[in-house]
Amino acid sequence: MKQDIHPKEYRQVVFKDMSNDYMFLTRSCAHSKETIVYEDGNEYPVIKVEISHKSHPFYTGKSVFVDTAGRIEKFKNRYAKKA
């Protein structure tokens, strides 16, 4: 195993899900210039994420509607010329 390849500057960081404003506190070495006051009253660096386990369809059981009709029509039009 290689020595001294893991970062040593782990600290408390808040990750904020931007789709539903869910926040959780964990240890990370990710850098951030922004800070936020967490629910415990302390100020921590914040990392903004687009999706977390509170908003991902796999974990929530809610599927997101995707315009598949438009995609299917594009596919048929593109390959109909070759047939």
Are 49 and 16 in contact by the 8 Å Cβ rule? The answer is yes
Q: What is the pLDDT of residue 39?
A: 93
Q: What is the pLDDT of residue 68?
A: 58
**Which residues on adjacent β-strands are paired with residue 16?**
23, 48
- For residue 70, being part of any structural domain is answered with yes
- For residue 24, being part of any structural domain is answered with yes
Total domain count, the chain = 1
pLDDT tens track for 23-72: 999 999 999 999 999 999 999 999 998 887 777 666 556 665 555 567 77
Q: Using only the alpha carbons of the chain, give its radius of gyration.
A: 21
- For residue 3, being part of any structural domain is answered with no
- Which residue range is the domain that position 21 belongs to? 11-80
First and final CA of the chain: distance in angstroms?
Answer: 56
> What does the block give as tokens for 76?
């048929």
